[in-house]
Amino acid sequence: MRVVVEVPARRSAPVVWRHLVDWPWQSGSIPLTRVFRTSAAEGEGGSFTGRTAVLGVGFDDPMDVVRWEPPTAGAPADGGRAGVAVLAKRGSVVLGSAALRVEPVTAGSCRVVWGEDVHVAPVRLTRPLEPLLRGPVWLGLRSVVVDMVRRVEAGTPEPLEP
């Protein structure tokens, strides 16, 4: 199932990027989920896991960073370039990939494009439900991305990790 959301941000692409790729920082916007690094590497080759649980029962969503291209400052006309991060989901429950793109619009604003191509195991049984789930999954993803962008725009809190 593929879902994509786009959210405008009133901060520069490098500032928005710095927050959104601070994986543990995302925990403040994802309900019932705590995100933690599982490798010291930042960028391509890094890994992290989202642990989603209710009353101690849950699942892990481990991910590897397979592409990492931070954005450059400035408007596109001044040489500002989009940043891209691609994640491979390698868990036993959630499979697929995610891609984050932070596109400069002006020197002080950008657009966040977040796409997920996900399937829930066992895929053979859950794939027929995907058309029914696409809308709710899109709404959930949009809610998370909007919340993260609003937190960045507010300037607080700073990322959890340098």
| Half-sphere exposure of residue 160: CA atoms within 13 angstroms, side-chain side | 13
For position 152, what pLDDT does the model report?
95
What does the pLDDT look like over 49-85, one tens digit per residue?
999 999 989 999 999 999 999 999 999 999 999 999 9
Residues 114-145 pLDDT 10s: 999 998 888 888 889 899 999 999 999 999 99
- DSSP 8-state assignment for residue 158: P
pLDDT bracket for residue 158 (50, 70, 90):
low
pLDDT above 50 for 43 = yes
User: Is pLDDT of 161 > 70?
Assistant: no
Q: Is the pTM of this model over 0.85?
A: yes
Which DSSP string corresponds to 72-135? Answer: -SS-GGGT---EEEEEEEE-SSEEEEEEEEEEEEETTEEEEEEEEEEEESSHHHHGGGHHHHHH
Q: Which of 89, 81, 99, 39 has its CA nearest to residue 61?
A: 89
Query: Which residues on neighbouring strands pair with residue 106, listed in sequence order?
Result: 109
